[in-house]
């Protein structure tokens, strides 16, 4: 375990080093307190939920791995989330999919779900200092198929329209209860394995479905619409593409969700931020890590993540960008996966907040491009980790690798006994 005295000594040296480039580390620490991640509940149980319908994942969703200890009930999932939270500095949110309702063992179809099915979640979140976000769930259902909200079949489409309307009402009640808007994300897998004879046909249907869903205005929730590049078995055509949702969001004043795994691997998600901020009020992020495809690997401190965090800070957009996580890995300890990805995301923002943006802009304005590039390179080796360690210490969470042993203890005492 790292001694507190060492953390303080390293922090003092780091503070002096950053002063040399015009950065106040204490200001960065204060700003870090304002960054809340929306933790995704589905990492704890491999996107199973509590509908009691059984069956495997469908709709372009796939979880790989069979590591023991998956949460099997609402109580186990809550315990695991709280354990993960104890290793993540700061105050955070919890993002629920509709299939995680407290259904008390009763079968409740998705066009029947009510706010009452999430009342215990609201109370639990209040007791444990969480705010809640929400998602409609179109996958893994007998009526999912290849098309939901874009389905030409009125019976199928109306089922999913009703489901999504109810999810918005649940989100409204969550936001009202917690005194803070609930971010309600809409993602559907709709698409085709081969190119359809008419791409516009299904996009026109989806537009009409969305218009009907969003007809009721709410004050305590915010609508987010999430695109995807392709789904498993639906590789050639995705109805809700990035271009579709970008156009719809800009036209209808909806928040566009950028999932970092839902684009071509060579696309820069960071580059999209400044453009969206010019034409949409806010942005929702789902931070994931694609490896060759949208594989939802555990987030690590990569160059892409750093670039994304820096762009948000450079745009002065922390109050307009909501940061959620979205990955599911069943090959390793699931609580460890939570902590690795959450802390990696926070570390990226810590580095971004320690960047001397003013000096970099000055160099740029003066045409000093050598100086700008040189400083950007030197920043990579500045002692940002000492500031991060102090942030962990201030928030009473383990510093450095100390959390590894604590998660191992929880596994030995709790999750390893789940058979």
Known catalytic residues are 187, 226, 228, 259, 262, 286, 294, 296, 326
As given in the structure block, the two tokens for residue 332 are 């390793």
Q: Which residues pair with 321 in a beta bridge?
A: 283
Q: Residue 25 and residue 387: Cα distance in Å, rounded?
A: 7
Q: Which long-range contacts (CB under 8 A, 24 or more apart) does 28-32 make?
A: 28/350, 28/353, 28/354, 28/387, 29/387, 29/390, 29/391, 29/394, 31/318, 31/353, 32/89, 32/90, 32/346, 32/349, 32/350, 32/353, 32/391
As given in the structure block, the two tokens for residue 168 are 């918005």
H or E segment to which residue 237 belongs: strand 237-238
Q: Which long-range contacts (CB under 8 A, 24 or more apart) does 179-183 make?
A: 180/131, 181/220, 181/221, 181/222, 182/131, 182/132, 182/133, 182/134, 182/220, 182/221, 182/222, 183/38, 183/95, 183/133, 183/134, 183/221, 183/222, 183/224, 183/255, 183/284, 183/322, 183/324
- Residue 206's nearest CA partner among 184, 237, 236, 171 is 237
Q: Residue 52 and residue 238: Cα distance in Å, rounded?
A: 29
- Residue 50's nearest CA partner among 5, 130, 117, 136 is 117
Q: Which residue has the tokens 């690795």?
A: 340
Positive or negative CA dihedral for 392, 282, 329, 305? negative
């Amino acid at each position: 375990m790292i001694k507190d005295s060492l953390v303080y000594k390293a922090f003092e040296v780091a503070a002096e080093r950053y002063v040399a480039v015009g950065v106040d580390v204490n200001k960065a620490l204060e700003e870090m307190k304002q960054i809340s991640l929306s933790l995704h509940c589905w990492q704890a149980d491999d996107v199973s939920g509590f509908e009691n319908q059984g069956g495997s994942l469908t709709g372009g969703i796939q979880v790989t791995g069979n590591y023991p200890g998956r949460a099997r009930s609402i109580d186990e999932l809550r315990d695991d989330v709280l354990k993960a939270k104890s290793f993540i500095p700061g105050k955070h949110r919890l993002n629920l999919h509709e299939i995680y309702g407290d259904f008390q063992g009763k079968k409740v179809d998705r066009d029947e779900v009510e706010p009452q099915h999430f009342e215990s979640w609201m109370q639990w979140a209040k007791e444990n200092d969480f705010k809640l976000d929400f998602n409609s769930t179109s996958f893994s259902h007998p009526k999912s198929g290849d098309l939901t909200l874009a389905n030409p079949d009125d019976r199928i489409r109306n089922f999913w329209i009703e489901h999504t309307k109810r999810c918005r009402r649940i989100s409204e009640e969550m936001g009202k209860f917690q005194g803070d808007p609930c971010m309600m994300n809409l993602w559907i897998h709709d698409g085709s394995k081969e190119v359809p004879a008419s791409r516009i046909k299904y996009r026109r249907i989806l537009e009409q479905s969305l218009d009907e869903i969003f007809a009721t205005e709410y004050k305590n929730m915010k609508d987010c619409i999430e695109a995807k590049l392709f789904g498993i078995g639906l590789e050639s055509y995705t109805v809700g593409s990035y271009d579709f949702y970008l156009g719809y969001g800009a036209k209808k004043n909806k928040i566009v969700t950028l999932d970092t795994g839902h684009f071509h691997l060579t696309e820069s998600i960071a580059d999209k931020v400044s453009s969206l901020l010019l034409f949409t009020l806010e942005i929702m992020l789902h931070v994931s890590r694609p490896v060759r495809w949208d594989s939802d690997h555990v987030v690590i401190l990569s160059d892409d993540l750093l670039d994304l965090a820096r762009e948000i800070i450079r745009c002065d957009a922390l109050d307009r960008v909501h940061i959620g996580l979205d990955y599911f890995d069943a090959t390793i300890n699931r609580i460890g996966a939570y902590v690795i990805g959450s802390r990696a995301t926070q570390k990226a923002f810590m580095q971004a907040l320690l960047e001397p943006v003013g000096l970099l802009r000055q160099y740029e304005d003066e045409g000093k491009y050598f100086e700008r590039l040189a400083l950007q390179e030197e920043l990579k080796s500045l002692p940002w980790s000492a500031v991060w360690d102090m942030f962990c210490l201030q928030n009473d969470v383990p510093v450095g690798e100390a959390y590894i042993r604590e998660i191992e203890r929880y596994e030995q005492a709790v999750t390893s006994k789940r058979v």
